Structure formats: C-alpha cells, structure tokens
Structure 1
Amino acid sequence: MSQSLSRRQFLAATSAACAVTAVSPGSTKAAAATDRMKVGFIGVGGRGGSNLRAIEATGKVDVVAACDVDNRYVDQVAMRHPGVAKFSDFRKMYDAIGKDLDAVVVSTTEHTHAYATMPALQLGKHVYCEKPLAYNVYETRRITEAAADGGVVTQMGTQIHAGKNFRRVVELIQSGAIGPVMEAHVWVGRAWGLQSEADAKANKDRIFVDKRPTEAMAPPPNIDWDVWLGPAPERPFHEVYFPGPNWYRWWDFGNGTMSDLGSHWNDLPFWALQLDAPQTVEAFGPPPHAEIAPASMSAVYQYGPRGNQPALQMTWYQGSHKPEIWKSGGIPQWGSGVLFMGTKGMLLSDYNKHVLLPEDKFADFEPPEQFIADSPGHHAEWVNACGGEGTTGSPFSYAGPLTEANHLGNVAYRVGKKITWDAKNMKCVGCPEADPFIRREPRAGWSL
C-alpha cells in the first residue's frame, strides 16, 4: 500500500508516539530487578481491591500499607497481610511511612486522585493511578509535570490499553490499512449522569436524583466522610454521593461518563492517531445542570495535522447520542465502539474485536507484521518497569494529555459554546467563564 510504512520506518518515526516511556537507570528511580517492591495502596475496596490483587499476583511486591476511608476494607487487607500499616487518611500515611515506600497505587475517587498522587511523585516514588488521572485540567497538568520531574515509573489504570485488540488496531491504522484518517467517532452506551426518572428506572438506577438533597444523613460509622470529601466543597453525607458509582454524577466529585469511559474509549484513537491537545471543542446536549453531569451528550474535537497525518475531526457520544452512520445502519450497531474513517475504508473496534469495512473490500486483506509487542498485563507492565524491566503503556506523559482532552469535552459542554484551546497557558481563548471548570480552589486543609 502506498500509504503504508515499513515496520522499521514506523518504529523510527513514531516510537515516542506509541505512549510508552522507556525505563533506564539513568533517567528513573527503578528498583533493582532482584528487589521486592514495598508498595502502599490508597483505596483498597472495589477497584482498589482489584488493583491490589493484580499487583500482588505478580509475586514481586510487598503490601506494606493499606489506606481507605472505609476501615472495613483496610481490615480485610490486614487479615491477609498481618503487620500492614493501616490508615484512613493518605496524608497521614505519607507523613508516617512515605519515605520507606518504593511505590504507591492510587485507587481513590476521581476528585482526590491528584492529592493522593502528588506526594508520592514529590518523594520520588513510582505511581500507578486509576483513571482519570486527575479531576480537572489543572490538576492533570500538575501531575503530568511532577511525574516528569520525578523521573519515576508511572501508569494510569486504563487496563484495556494492554489488550491485544487495541494493539492490532493501532498497527492497522498506523500502517495505512484504511488510508489517512480524517474522521473518527467514539460512542458508549453508558449514561451515568442526569436523566429522567423513567430513564433511571429503565437503566435500573438504585437512586434517582435531579438535585442536591437538602437533608443530611449520618455517615456509616466505618466511613471517614471528611477525608472522602477531600478537596471538594463541604457538604453533609448522603447516599446519593456514596458509595460509588453514585459520585460519578456530581460535578464536585467526578465528571460523569466522559471522564470515566472516555479514559478507556478515547484511548484508542488517541494512541492510533497520535493525538494531543485539540484546537477546538464544541459540545451538544441538554442544558447543563449546575451540579450533575449529563447522561447523554456529544463533543466534537478538531485536531490539526500531525506529522504525515491530516487534520482530524473526532466526535464523542454518550448515552442516547450516536453517530449518524450508526443510526442509519451504515455500520454494525455495536453498543459501544470506535470508528475510524479513512480514504480507503473504515475500521470499527470495541474492546475485544475489530473489523475492516466494507468487509467485502477487505476480504483478502493481509494485516501488517506485528510491531507493537504484546503486554504481560497492565499491572505487570508497571511492576516490571519499576524493577527496570520493560516499559509502561499508559505513563502519565501519555495519560495526562488524554485526560486533559477528555475534560475539555465537559468544559465545552458546561460553558455552552465552542472553545478554542490554548494548551500552553491552560486557557480557553476569549472564554473566562471556562476558568472555574479548568481549575478550582480546594477546600481548606487541602493543596497540591
């Protein structure tokens, strides 16, 4: 194919763009390969518990600290790891044993990611942080810069990035299988956010809510509510916020479906098309709610040319919003997917499978020779890299710009107008009303 690159040409031209950060003794604080890594886990229930078990399963770490606002989860870890240091407040964990740790795993709620991660980076510790990397653009940029300054091994928890399917799709796109891509569409069926009561029932939501509750509830005795609030504005405990995933809906704690699933689904075009900061973003949906993210919305991103790739329009859809080609039956109507539209055809992918379209045109197509190595597993990548072996697929140098771009979709939605993004200065040009959505002042007692 005339648009194709040889494997050697591709690796030479785009090794940095594949979002893997090499680990070398001169540039990182990697532990010796024979050392067992001493790891502190912040957030050990739910997703955090899964991360702990996956990292523990590598057989290369010692679990030395467990921290969670729910003391039941901490006690469960202590039963399996007698002698583990127990905390409910990660600030106290860092004060007590931060210098003794080799690495930290952060699996808290979105609004405390940056605050739990920053101390580790400043101490020169390796970090695995769940997605999204941070709560807003400003916090994300601070974490990205601190990771670069610290020279440590990092990984954001986009586990599907390590799957074989995404790697084969990236190879197809970057080797020119469908020609230059000038249009991409990403859609997800999940609709965490403000929705009608009928839709809430249809989606089997346990709690329907369309406004902040006025009554207070007593927090369960096992919960440290003040620490859970962290840098967010003060408010009484209520079940509409806690436990997860209820908090995802509320702007003070999360950023809805975009922030959650955008980290996974936008990862594929971001990687395959070597994206970074968008030039403009415009969003569409119901009128923005002051406190609750939308269930359904869409956002259109404009990117300029990148190397030998043309300008690109990428559109995100969530909930009831779908691409026109999907609604008209022009492609298989997968519930969630990524569609690349090139000059020679299309590629449709989800997490586990992909197809070149139209299928009859590609019936005899021979895929390129594999040039992206298979992963030992998303968690194993990070553990191995901390020990000086291999690389991570979603280091903060890559995950940071991805997270920022996702946040900008919500910024455009909340201001209700097309934004022009000045990435260097973290400003929406001529749109000062966007500033509070890019950066917020934390609650007293919390700072980066």
Structure 2
Amino acid sequence: MEKTNKEANAASRRAFIKNTAIASAAFMILPRHVLGGKGFTAPSDRLIVAGIGVGGKGAGDIAAFYKSGKAEIGFLCDVDTKRAAGTVKSFPKAKFYKDWREMLDKEHKNFDAVSISTPDHSHAMITVAAMQLGKHVYVQKPLTHDIYEARKLTEAAKKYKVVTQMGNQGASNDGPRQMKEWYDAGLIGDVHTVYAWTDRPVWPQGIPWSANKAEIPANLDWDLWLNTAPYKDYVDKLVPFNWRGWWDYGTGALGDMGCHLIEAPFSVLGLKYATNVQASVGSVYVDEFKRGYFPESCPPSSHVTLTFPKTPKTQGEVTLHWMDGGIQPTRPEELDANDVFGDGGNGTLFIGTKGKMMSSTYSANPRLLPLSRNKDIKVPEKFARVPNGANGHYAQWVEACIAGYGKKEVSSPFEIAGPLTEALLMANLAIRGNDVQRTSADGKVSYPGRNIQLLWDNDNMKVTNFDDVNQYVKREYRKGWTLGI
C-alpha cells in the first residue's frame, strides 16, 4: 500500500513548485546577468544543467551536454542511486538528489535548464514543473506517455517561452535535410506512401505480469519511480530497462524507435496530425491451442497504418505504415537481392510517383532507389546542416538555451516533437484496441477493437467510433499526482 506521509510530502512539494512558478516564472526567464545585480559577471557562454534520470541513456545525455564545451552539470537526480553512481562519479561537483521535486524546490534558482531521461510515464509531469519555473528542457523520446500530455507540453513550451528539444538525435542528422532537398527537387515525385520498421522490441512483451514479488533494492525509491502509474508491488527485472514493454510505464517499440524512424517523413513531407489509424498485432500462445491475453503488456509485434491529410508538400493523403517486432515491408523491386534494405533491422522507405528513397536508423545514409541513381545526384544544398549531425543535437540545444527563447533553431522543438509523438501514441491506441475484450451473456468472448479503423477527432483529442480506447488518450494518474496545467 502507498504511504500517507509520502502523499502528503508530494502534495506540499507540488504546491511549493506551483506557488514559486506563479511568483517567479517571469523572473526566472530573464537573462542570468540581469538577475545577478551589480558586480555580477554574466556567464553568457555557459549553461548550468540539472539532470533528472542520469543513469543509462541519461548518463550519455549528461556527458554530451558537457562535451559541448558550453554546459556545466550543476545538479544530478535519480531515484536509483546505484544506476546513477557512474554519472555522480564523473561529475563530483554536481549536487545529487533522489527526489526531483526536492531538487526543483531547493535549487531552481541555481540552474538554467533541465535534462529529463526517465521512463515514459514520468516525462510530462517533470517537464511541466521545470517549464513552469522558466527552465529550458531537453526530454528523451518519446516526449510523453499520452496524447493529452503531448498536446499540453506543446502548448506549455509556447506559454512559458523556454527552449525545448526532444532526444531524437536523428532529427539533427544530415539525412532528413538531404531527403528534403531531394524531395523538393522532385527526384521521386509526390510521396503517397511511407514505410517505417524496426526489429525492436529487444525486451519482453506480450507476457503476463510477474507473480513473484521481490524485495525492493535499497538503492531504489520504488514509490517515486512509479510516479503517476498505479501502485504495484516491486518485481524483479522491470527496472532499469524492461518497463518499456508495459503500458503503465512504457510505449513499446513505437515509443522507443518511432521518433527516430518517423521523424524524417514528418520533416520531409510536412506531416502533422493523422485522421485515422488501424492496427494488427502479433500473438503469443500460453499453450499449443490457446492464445495469450495480456492487455497490460505491449504486443510482441505490430503493423499499424496511419492516414495523414494532404499537406503543402503533398498532392494528396499520405499513408504511413509502421512495423515492429521484426516485421518488414516487401523489398522494393529496385533493390538487388543482396542489397541491404534500410540498415537491416530498421529503416524508412518513401514511395513517390517518380521513384523511391530510403534511409537507416536516425535517418542516416539516405539513398535513392535504384542505388545506381546516387552516383549522379546534383541537387544544391539549401538546408543548413547541424554541426556533427546526431551528436550535435545536444550542443545545438545548449547553444539555443544560452541564446534564449526564439533566438536559435533546434531540430526537435516541442512544436515539432509534440505532433510527432501524438502520431506514435495514436498508433498505440489502435494497438491497445486489439486487446479490448468483451464477454457476452452466453459466455462468448469477442474483440471488437480488431479489424476496424479508428477515426480521430483531433480538436477534441478523441476517437469517435470506438470509445473504449479514449481512456488511454488521457490516463488517470495515481492519487496524489497531477500534471499541474
């Protein structure tokens, strides 16, 4: 059971953050030299970063900000002290906290920006709290766990006027810019169909929740790790990685790889919000004759089809196919039998009226098909490249933060990352719809969410023809937690 005193502490800390934000949001977004007063030397070329979630991918993020040469790591925060130990050792001058709310409460005047690399279900709440304090934010992909959260973060970035960036490094690669130049030059005609695929998940999915309750490690604050999710007893091997396969915490292969593989279609074609979606999913068997039914877990594989309306860069609707779990589209006839499709396990394929082009993970290595076409491409470069490509994604955000809101371009601000994330999460609505189970009076079981197309009302953020999945558009947070906007 949850502990009452923890709920009380959570409420008081959130109240503090909210009150502080109201009183000082305008104050905090001023340049730091204005805040310092007479005799203060402006650190105009340095960004003080606080990291929340600093083990694993978070450790890499923190190191990359520091390597930009313009960031100092001032504070570190993680619910798992063992997981964070390496980063803490690398930055011994950074003050460490276990509770991000306490860090924001006590230290918000002492840093400029926040890096958030926590499980998907906790992204939105932490990000909102940071933005309300006038902090620039870098958030790992996917931006949020729910569509509602993505929409609210997109709006909040404009409201609080902070620099934002989602951690899909491929958005800073040369690949998307190269493909935009090819497409704008008409090399493949009008694109009407796109395929994106991945060999992930590489963690367990389509399985029952473990019945083996384990002892919570001394280094882990399990209650704080759960954050907005329903309380459950701790089970072994969920943390630090396998949470991705459970809907309470993760968003499956789509959340993990979709931002990397679908970013290019969004930027090249100007896609934004889909109008409808349908999905089919792979099954697992609990015995020789019976399929497993595990609605708490993401499926082992899926094929999702999203329809996007005509954009200024297309002549009509665009159909986007997503495939995961090792499923791939049929090889293009322009590829020779031994040519690598995508990068083998992952890729994106654009099909136009005059030709095709494909790329690898992170939109790397773009190629026209057939591959022989790449020898004679003479398209002028018109989109500025990000120095160091995907690796430069971090420095780009650091420099934009130093410059201030609206002064420098970033590759994946929330105005772009928000709609991209919504598309992925809309696809997950269709995937989860496959698990909606109903039992009739005579005991027959049916799955009404399978083999249908979900129709999306974008303004009201709801599916209009299958209400069962709308509960996932805006999930109910655990008692004591709120998004705050």
* TM-score, length basis structure 2: 0.79
Which residue is 1:390 aligned to? Answer: 408
**For residues 181 and 330 of structure 1, do their structure 2 counterparts lie closer, same or farther at Cα, with a shift above 3 Å needed?**
farther
Which secondary structure does the structure 1 equivalent of 2:306 belong to? strand
Paired residue type of 1:268: A
Cα separation, 2, equivalents of 1:167 and 1:89:
40
Match of residue 402 from structure 1:
420
Q: CA deviation at 1:33?
A: 7.6
Cα deviation for residue 286 of structure 1 reads: 3.1
Residue in 1 that maps onto 2:472: 437
> Following the alignment from structure 2 to structure 1, what is the Cα–Cα distance between the partners of residues 192 and 86?
50
Asked if residue 324 in structure 1 is aligned to residue 335 in structure 2, the reply is: no
Counterpart amino acid of residue 276 in structure 1: K
Contact 2:261 2:348 in 1 (8 A): yes
CA positional deviation for 1:387: 1.3
Q: Summarize deviations over 1:389-420 as a string: whole Å, max 9, x none.
A: 63110001100000000011110121133111
| Alpha-carbon distance between aligned partners in 2 of 1:418 and 1:99, rounded to the nearest angstrom | 49
Name which of structure 1's ranges 135-144 and 165-174 shifts more when overlaid on structure 2.
Answer: 165-174
- C-alpha deviation, 1:339, in angstroms: 0.7
Alpha carbons 1:74, 1:87 under 8 Å: kept: no
Q: Secondary structure at the match of 1:315?
A: strand
1:423 is matched by which residue type in structure 2?
Answer: N
The higher radius of gyration belongs to 2
- Aligned counterparts of 2:228 and 2:313: Cα–Cα separation in 1: 43
Whether 1:297 and 2:323 are equivalent positions in the alignment is no
- Residue aligned with 1:392, SS: coil
Q: Do 1:120 and 1:127's aligned partners in 2 also have CA atoms closer than 8 Å? A: yes
Q: Secondary structure at the match of 1:302?
A: strand
Is 1:228 paired with 2:229? no
Pick closer, same or farther for the CA change 1:447–1:381 going to 2, 3 Å: same
Shift of 1:139: 1.1
Asked if structure 1 preserves the Cα contact closer than 8 Å seen for 2:334 and 2:370, the reply is no
Structure 2 counterparts to residues 182-193 of structure 1, below 5 A: 182-192=192-202
Paired residues of 2:176 and 2:267 also in contact (CA < 8 A): no
User: Does residue 55 of the first structure (1) align with residue 65 of the second (2)?
Assistant: yes
C-alpha separation in 2, matches of 1:280 and 1:74: 41
* Aligned counterparts of 1:174 and 1:105: Cα–Cα separation in 2: 35
1:192·1:294 contact (CA, 8 Å) conserved in 2?
no
Checking the alignment, whether the CA contact within 8 Å between 2:54 and 2:77 is kept in structure 1 is yes
Mind listing any 5+ residue stretches in structure 2 that lack a counterpart?
A: 1-28, 33-41, 284-292, 434-448
Per-residue deviation, 1:446: 1.2
What is the deviation of 1:194? Answer: 5.6
Tell which deviates more after alignment, 324-333 or 280-289: 324-333
Q: Does the aligned pair in 2 maintain the 1:39–1:65 contact within 8 Å?
A: yes
Change (3 A) 1:239 1:307: same
Post-superposition Cα deviations, 1:261-289, rounded to whole Å, max 9, x if no partner, equal 00110111111111000011111123673
- Distance in 1 (CA, whole Å) between partners of 2:335 and 2:204 is 28
- In the other structure, the counterpart of 2:381 is 370
Look up the match of 1:198: none
Aligned equivalents of 2:461, 2:115: Cα separation in 1: 28
In structure 1, the residue matched to 2:430 is 412
- Name the amino acid aligned to 2:262: N
Aligned partner of 1:67 among 68, 74, 77 = 77
Indicate yes or no: 2:263 matched with 1:267. Answer: yes
Counterpart selection for 2:162 from 142, 146, 152: 152
User: How many aligned positions are there?
Assistant: 406
Spell out, residue by residue over 1:179-228, the C-alpha distance to the aligned partner (whole angstroms, 9 max, x if none).
11011111111234666xxxxxxxxxxxxx82111221011111111111
SS of 1:189's equivalent in the other structure is coil
Verify: 1:138 aligned to 2:148, yes or no. yes
Give yes or no for the alignment of 1:181 onto 2:191: yes
Q: CA deviation at 1:174?
A: 2.8
Report the CA distance shift for 1:29/1:381 in structure 2 as closer, same or farther (over 3 A). farther
CA contact (8 A) 2:335 2:369 kept: no
CA distance 1:328–1:309, change in 2 (3 Å): closer
Aligned-pair CA distance for 1:114: 0.7
**In the aligned structure 2, how far is the partner of 1:319 from the partner of 1:241?**
20
Alignment root-mean-square deviation, CA: 2.2
Larger CA deviation: 303-312 vs 264-273: 303-312
CA distance in 2, matches of 1:338, 1:320: 14
Give the superposition deviation at 1:119: 0.6
Q: Deviations over 1:332-364 (max 9, x none)?
A: 43321111111111101113312211345x366
* Shift of residue 62, structure 1, vs aligned partner: 2.2
Which one of 78, 99, 118 corresponds to residue 128 of structure 2? 118
- What's the secondary structure of 1:179's corresponding residue? coil
CA contact (8 A) 2:181 2:379 kept: yes
Ranked by relative contact order (alpha carbons within 8 Å, sequence separation 6 or more), the top structure is: 1
**2:264 and 2:208 mapped to 1: Cα distance?**
35
Query: Counterpart of 2:4?
Result: none
- Segments of structure 1 that go 5 or more residues without pairing to the other structure are 1-27, 196-208
| TM-score, L = length of structure 1 | 0.85
1:379 alignment partner AA? Y
Q: Where in structure 2 are the equivalents of 1:343-358 lying within 5 Å?
A: 343-351=353-361, 352-358=364-370
Q: 1:328 to 1:285 in 2, by over 3 A?
A: farther
Deviation at 1:326, TM superposition (A): 5.5
Asked if the contact 2:204/2:245 (under 8 Å) is kept, the reply is yes
